[in-house]
Structure 1
């Protein structure tokens, strides 16, 4: 068994535990929260006996082999470093850090301590993303990648009433690009690598974070167009356009339906079977790597995570989004 501790007693952590239960050799053995009451309440819900309110104590515990971090984005790097420096493997929610400088330090710590560090970005590990990779050659030379993920945040109504929750607070390294845009950028980087040029645009809210934005990315032989938002909804699919046809992806963040539309007019359904508890795929990848003695994922790799973070850093610079961690 791989014994996980969890940081974060929120809905994301709940989903992680509930969906990872389907993965062989997964077990949660410890819970961290800032208050003992909340830690115990959350732990009891999932039958976990050990709780912590101190990260250093948790990191030295013999009760865990790995940690799942689902705290606000601004805490990811600091918390990951504590656990890696005590020999624990780290599965960290996306975005893995606030900026590329933080991520570079995290990667170095993973290498120094010979532990696994992986960004918990589920979409690139799903069967319906892998089928895109396997069938990409069928559409010939790729010329354009178009990805859209726009989801009206349930916290935006509170923001408009004057209550700034974490999701719209730059102190926590949040915003549409970090929380939503990353789902569009990561698949692009996995498929085509880092672009030559990045041009970002966005709508800054009064709190200092972006409510929505778009990115134009230039490659030597293709371009990418990305749109994301936390203040509007969109039902538009994503698309990879090639000279022989296009691959249509229903939802870039969680692909469930994938088709090739050929120039001849024919349509090929390349959708793969995929379980509904989609977070289990990232957990399975993480556990498989640990059990095989590997310290880096080939899909959610250091290079891919770093390239994505560098793209987001550049977009934030162009749009004017500044986090406290940028000044360190």
Structure 2
């Protein structure tokens, strides 16, 4: 197995480590946390032993492990990934991997120069259910006439924000907001299924902090539009859809996809059989490890192109809406 260091001791890092245990792909050996107590509690919850703890990031990257998984606040991704690559570590970084396309370009160039891997962890595109969506879209591509993707989920941190606190996910300092949290899933949906759009426009609903609480994103392609609805300040139970003229592919969600149906012109709805892992990060852990072990550069280049396109669209979208991150001023 590939030795793994992680940055962050939150629920998503725990989920990723458990996925690597199930798939027997990566072996956790090192943990970085700002406090030793948090790291110890995290390791204890995972029932792991002999894990090296670091509270100093420079010291952490000098340790002997192969790959780092980064799940810190968005604005920290770039500097941490850059430092990892400079120290010879392969990088798996949660989406979005950077705050700006300039940052992404720097990381991509550095990874290439060092002969290392840089993965953006968009876990849902690796799941079997998404592969089934790709099959359906490809089969009916000649009739493709657009899509609507919806992902709106009331944030567990929004109450704190309304109470006058300053959660990272709702600040420009940490590159927060709906687009860069939930929207990235739906942009991945569009890019993987339809490619790069010709035009991007985002109409955002702003919070006082300067980030978007929700919004409507339009991706214009040559023959159709993709409409995206996202939000962190409200809940929506709207399904997502891909249109093929008279027929429609129904997704129960634009980000966390659990069920697929096919609806015909007569309103007959047919279930599309597929599978869903109990741990949604199983498939990406398996695929990243496979690419690294087999040196499958064709698959790697494809994922890198997706990530590059998605990060460019995210920046174009927030620029069109007038969303400015602190990271923009650091260019």
Asked whether the two chains share a fold, i.e. TM above 0.5, the reply is yes
In structure 1, C-alpha distance between the alignment counterparts of 2:319 and 2:74, rounded to whole Å = 18
In structure 2, C-alpha distance between the alignment counterparts of 1:54 and 1:251, rounded to whole Å = 39
Q: How does 1:116-135 map to 2 (within 5 A)?
A: 116-135=117-136
- Structure 1 counterpart of 2:208: 206
Deviation at 1:159, TM superposition (A): 1.0
In structure 1, C-alpha distance between the alignment counterparts of 2:300 and 2:259, rounded to whole Å = 24
Deviation at 1:154, TM superposition (A): 1.2
Check if 1:318 corresponds to 2:317: no
Q: How does 1:1-328 map to 2 (within 5 A)?
A: 1-46=1-46, 47-48=48-49, 49-62=51-64, 64-136=65-137, 137-138=139-140, 140-295=142-297, 297-298=299-300, 301-328=303-330
Which range is displaced more, 285-294 or 70-79?
285-294
Deviation at 1:183, TM superposition (A): 0.9
In angstroms, what is the RMSD of aligned CA positions?
1.7
In structure 2, C-alpha distance between the alignment counterparts of 1:206 and 1:299, rounded to whole Å = 39
Q: Normalization by structure 2: what TM-score?
A: 0.94
Count how many residue pairs are aligned between Structure 1 and Structure 2. Answer: 327
**Alignment partner of 1:301: what SS?**
helix
Q: Normalization by structure 1: what TM-score?
A: 0.95
Cα contact 2:151–2:182 (8 A) shared by 1: yes
- Name the CA shift for 1:190/1:124 in 2 (closer, same or farther; >3 Å): same
In structure 2, C-alpha distance between the alignment counterparts of 1:179 and 1:162, rounded to whole Å = 21
Cα contact 1:258–1:270 (8 A) shared by 2: yes
Deviation at 1:302, TM superposition (A): 1.8
**Alignment partner of 1:21: what SS?**
helix
Deviation at 1:163, TM superposition (A): 0.9
The C-alpha deviation readout for 1:73-123, integer Å capped at 9, x for no partner, is 001111111111222111111111111111111111111111111111111
Q: Which runs of 5+ in 2 are unaligned?
A: none
Cα contact 1:139–1:241 (8 A) shared by 2: no
Deviation at 1:4, TM superposition (A): 0.8
Deviation at 1:254, TM superposition (A): 2.1
Which range is displaced more, 240-249 or 297-306?
297-306
Structure 1 ranges of 4+ moved more than 6 A:
none
In structure 2, C-alpha distance between the alignment counterparts of 1:134 and 1:277, rounded to whole Å = 22
**Alignment partner of 1:184: what SS?**
helix
In structure 1, C-alpha distance between the alignment counterparts of 2:226 and 2:311, rounded to whole Å = 17
- Name the CA shift for 1:284/1:8 in 2 (closer, same or farther; >3 Å): same
In structure 2, C-alpha distance between the alignment counterparts of 1:317 and 1:131, rounded to whole Å = 33
